[in-house]
Structure 1
Amino acid sequence: MGKTIFEKILVRASGKTDIAPGEILWVKPDVIAVTDLNWKQRESFQKKVGLEKIPKPEKIVAVVDHHTEQLSSPEGAEHIRCFRQWAKANEGIHFYDSGRGGLQIQVLVEEGHVRPGMMVISDDPEAEACGGIGALVRSSNQLMWMAAAIDEVWLEVPEVVQCRVKGRMEKGVLSIDLRHRLHRDLGGSFGRFVEFSGPTIEEMSIDARLNLCSSLYLSGSYGIIAPDKRTMDYVKSRTDDAFDSFTSDPDAEYAGLYEYDVSHLEPQVAFPPSPTNTRPISDAEGMEIHQACIGSCASGRIEDLRIAAEILKGRKVHPGVRMFITPVSRKVQMTALEEGLIKVFVEAGALICIPSCGTCPGHVGRLAAGEVCITTSTVNYPGRMGSKEAQIYLASPATVAASAVEGRIADPRRYL
């Protein structure tokens, strides 16, 4: 019987030759990804268990993206100070400070640390977007510390379903809209992993693939796309380091099949209080908003900024709306500057944030009671971005940009 791409990565990482869904494996990570979130408390855990030094610091990629200087609180500054000291004490760690990297997920792929076929352990579930280039990521704070301490973690072999996608999306409908639709269809506790395939996936850019695979953990799932020539060109333009590339065997067995024709897919909007509460934009149009945000682990890539700029060029953000735009990394920010996108945003009346988590967890642009925000962020539970009495709607960067112009949730297709 053939193997899926997930199983092939786990076979390589575990050293076993035959595995089955439900089996528990000990696997060795290729990369261990770490953020600065609440680092002071987390570092105390390391001391409590007697781990004085990280045995393989060269495997660790440490990124400041939560408690950046943008979050001007004494507690945040202390977390970053401790994080910097920890990285310095463990010589060999790949460390990206504020202004030198961006969000963890983007740094991992953009700097060539994560490559196809790799087994990655992270403390941030958004790193699972690396599935867009054919890597397998599992995430939790406990797994990260286990990997850092003993260079090994245990994982369960997942059941895998296929998701075949065909059709051409209308201009203004993005891979993020497909992801929101999947959240609705899979629910909040799907529990199986998803392998994407089909002609629509093959035509997707790397940015679109990363956006599609991002945040599927919110459905208890994980997405992966088999690497192809587009993937190889992207990775090889960023690193000369070797990697193994896997695809599923033709006779691999799957636990199910989902098929989508996206030719008639509308832009999607996730209503509060959950990303799985997704509806077509026709159910949301006309709802007044007070804030619009583009950025987060699940967006803010250069293609997201380009389509937002296409909508905003020559237009103004509605006077009743505050708009925040956060590039996902320093490199994306530089590209946006070179292409004139930042100028378009500033002229439209948007605020530009430093590459970081920014507005997603409410570090910037906190919401007051009764306010409504539309955002490309990952989650929308009450209190995520400020007051528990505020409402958060999730959508694509195209939908957010169109809504910022109109001052109400708007269909971006009429602007493109």
Structure 2
Amino acid sequence: MFKNLKQIIMPLAGLLRELEFGKYLKGEDFENYLLKNKLIKIWSDNKLHSIAQIGKSQSDISLIIFMNVLNEYLNKDVYTIEQKQILTNNINFLIIKFFEFYIKKENLKKNYSELITELENLSNEGLIYQDTIKDIKNLIDKKEYKEIIVTMESQNIENFQEQFDYAIITALEEDEMEKVLPLIQKEGEIKDSEHLIEFGYVKGMPNKRVVYASQHSTGIIDAGILSAELLLRFRPKYLIMVGVLGGEPKETKIGDVIVATKVFTIDKGKYSDLGFQREGNYSSIQSIELKKIARSKLDIENYINGNDPTRSSKIQVHFGPIATVNQVIDIKGYFEKEITPIERKAIALEMESFAVVRACELVNRGTKPLIIKSVMDNTQGKTDNAKTYAAWTSAKTLEYLLLNDII
């Protein structure tokens, strides 16, 4: 019926964890099932010692006991055909019942594709019936979700920390966040913040859950404050800043996308009789994801250019250091005079990114920062005419990365 029972214990345990049934299963429900199927002796033999039960809810205890019962089954060396059939029937029954417990309590829409894939894999081993998969798919299809406005007081903050892989931040609501919003299916907002912090998921991908907000004002201070709040509240896997910046005049053109490999400031230093002596203030961005983005460079460019056939000048994706400054720069030759001598490979400048990356370093090193901004000007002859287009190419880059599981 199935090849090796010991080989399937881990994927089955993973499946049960995916269902999170331990959170909702009542001990007496499970015990009734065991009594009905004459398994109460195994249940009794695996009762937790009283000391081990301290601090655990009844549902947690039920989950542990069930796993012990499951181990008891799966570690038997000899099975008759009848025993294998009973085991398979029991597991299929439990999987359906546990999923019923789970989905009745679930209020937030999720992508269950990984769960279905895991069930299909176990079906290939002969452990899960196709009818079981069909029943679970029906439960998913019939589930209705309502848009929820959530306050932090009514939810345990740990739940939020588990829910969001992505936190997206922009310096501006107009243009920058406006171009991000079409990517996201909103589900609610956080009520006890001075910022408008909303949450939801990437459209068409409910498993990619997102929390997002824009700054009240541009600049490094507001960027640091908002970044710290998102990191402390949600501890996302990624903190992503998108938007617009000024590009290095000789290397970039309007709409080009800049992915930061390093961020640095140019304002820190010391004034003396010798004048202003600058001090380097750097933060590097090093991650596997950055390499994956680099490998996808041509695909990203084709994706953006393919969605905008009206432009004869095709955009490019660049990787390099970005300078963070405290002023809007509109001076010819400024980049070559003030930025390049500090960092010869610098590719762009703007007013926020250093604070975003530094916040990850100081507040939660488990969060990976990503800076993805597009060129709206070349720091000279400045106008806002290209801001909308640059914000769009930045958002389309993020869209490609999310939809294609690059991050």
TM over 0.5: no
**Which protein has the bigger helix share?**
2
TM-score bracket, normalised by the shorter chain, equals: under 0.3
TM-score (norm 2): 0.24
